[in-house]
Structure 1
């Protein structure tokens, strides 16, 4: 009974932090130092309607397609660069959460390097696909909602676009994560061996083992990360850079804060995801009952500290990886914006 109460308190604490995070930041910052003159209500509504109508009519299928293309290229490039650079840290994090650090010793550096980069070819192949797919959905959806709901509802647009983007990328990412996790934990020697084993034992269904475990990680992480990043970037642009584009070091600060906080909050769900995916294709599974069953079993066997296994490695991985990812994403989008039309109002790349 006491364990159930403590677990309920843990979940409630996480929800209390996650749900109001959308509202806590903007109001606290915007309330301080706001010197804008008040506009009559009837004029404000007319101005809002005129701006939204003008923006809605200025975008069409071609513009949304351009946003999707820019998002796909920049997101795919950022994902590929980040995953390859951060792959060894992810390997260490995954092993700490599952089978331990066996095989990683300083006495045999060549063998340790082989272990650290096991399955990296799969990451290089799949990362551009699912990250590109995510931002190909995220960018046009965010613009679509903002045009119809107004710029003041940017948080709502970010939330909707983030959920749709995450859902769309799952069809590619889940099979890739299952195969990659089995290679990282040493259950299979190569991606090819993992694919052959999974398909031979469970068919296509085996590639989606741990789907809900990954959903528990990705949905809250992406929501927290994207909302924090978008909000912090917007606040930094207004308060610090005074409307100018962020410099490289400013993007690094915003990305590090957003990804560091998001990764620490969602670490328990990442542990569950890693445990479920590592047993894909095994006849005797240690964790049954899906994500909830695995969570309860993990708490009963290892206690609540088991939920934070590999947390430091995950925060380090996600913070450094987030800085690399957002730098590549932002800079590649700047390059593509420069290649677009000179007039920002007519450019489909100006988002």
Structure 2
């Protein structure tokens, strides 16, 4: 298998599998966060905890492929010409844009179900298409990319920096990957909370026209709640992302190492 195909295969399998596992575990908690940010009055019930999960899981592998293949390939190329930090920054930017475009239609349906606008995936999808057309599936895409670019840049720079520290001449252990993933995810999550909040408002607006664009949404949130309003749910988002980062990077690095060792 060529280096290119090997990179594609490892990124897809390890990234997709790790992403699906983490998504399944944290999904109920993500639903609570979305409802908190959307000011939904829908009470949380365990029977509704996984509403929208199948649709979200369907996005896992294509999003993993879009992010990790573009990130890994671009990073390997840029490392020959620019500093590691710049390489990680550019790679994370491009990978975020690629992944965001792929994931947004899945997020629109998932989040509208999470806040109780729809109860079934089929009705959610048909309603979005009926009221807003195909463009409705990509509402909030720019906002998601504006959120994901700084999030992934911060997360990957911190994670790569922690992994690059001196571990006595050895590669980081699984426990160090877990710790590094948690730290990187937590820092990135806290700093990008306002944009994540704006994205939730846009996606769950449901065509009412209350939230129309990123800048307008941020101004409206600030007008209604000031600076604390912009960081609504930051504790929950930070802790949730730390847990997700710990599980994802620990799983990703373990699977990646296993796949390479077995020369698949």
TM-score range, shorter chain: over 0.9
Matched, 1:197 2:127: yes
Work out whether 1:132 is the aligned partner of 2:65.
yes
Distance 2:202 2:110 in 1: 13
2:49 counterpart (96, 116, 123): 116
Tell me, yes or no, if structure 1 residue 286 matches structure 2 residue 219.
no
For residues 233-312 of structure 1, what are the structure 2 equivalents within 5 Å? 233-235=163-165, 238=166, 241-280=167-206, 282=207, 284-288=208-212, 290-312=213-235
Distance in 1 of aligned mates of 2:85 and 2:222: 34
Q: Does the alignment pair 1:318 with 2:241? A: yes
Of 169, 178, 185, which residue of structure 1 is paired with 2:115?
Answer: 185
Preserved CA contact (<8 Å) 1:74 1:132: no
After TM superposition, give the deviation of residue 99 of structure 1 in Å. Answer: 2.4
The alpha-carbon deviation at position 62 of structure 1 amounts to: 2.8
TM-score, with length taken from structure 2: 0.95
CA contact (8 A) 2:100 2:148 kept: no
For the residue of structure 1 that corresponds to 2:170, the secondary structure is coil
What secondary structure sits across from 1:309 in the alignment? coil
User: What is the number of equivalent residue pairs in this alignment?
Assistant: 264
CA–CA distance in 1 between the matches of 2:101 and 2:147? 15
| Distance in 1 (alpha carbons) for counterparts of 2:235 and 2:41 | 15
Per-residue CA shift, 1:32-71, capped at 9, x if unaligned?
Answer: xxxxxxxxxxxxxxxxxxxxxxxxxxxxx93123212211
State TM-score, norm by structure 1.
0.72
Q: CA deviation at 1:257?
A: 0.9
Structure 1 counterpart of 2:35 = 95
Q: In the alignment, does 2:22 pair up with 1:85?
A: no
- Unaligned 5+ segments in structure 1 are 1-60, 105-111, 341-348
User: Is the CA contact 2:175–2:250 (under 8 Å) kept in the aligned structure 1?
Assistant: no
For 1:293 and 1:311, the matched residues in 2 are separated by 21
Q: Among 216, 223, 229, which residue is 2:146 paired with?
A: 216
* Aligned-partner Cα distance in 2 for 1:190–1:322: 29
Q: Residue 27 of structure 1 aligns with which residue? A: none
User: Given that residues 20 and 57 in structure 2 are in contact (C-alpha distance below 8 angstroms), is that contact kept between their aligned partners in structure 1?
Assistant: yes
Structure 2 counterpart SS, 1:149: coil
Deviations 1:105-160 (A, max 9, x none): xxxxxxx01222111111221112202321011111111111x316xx11121112
Q: Is the 8 A contact 2:33 2:233 kept in 1?
A: yes
Check if 1:149 corresponds to 2:81.
Answer: yes
Secondary structure (helix, strand or coil) at the match of 1:303 reads: helix
Q: Tell me, what secondary structure is at the counterpart of 2:117? A: coil
Q: CA deviation at 1:101?
A: 5.5
Separation in 1 of the partners of 2:107 and 2:241?
Answer: 16
Deviation at 1:187, TM superposition (A): 0.6
Say which is worse superposed, 162-171 or 222-231, in terms of deviation. 162-171
Tell me the distance in 1 between the aligned counterparts of 2:210 and 2:99. Answer: 28
1:283-302 Cα deviation digits (max 9, x unpaired): x22123x1000111111112
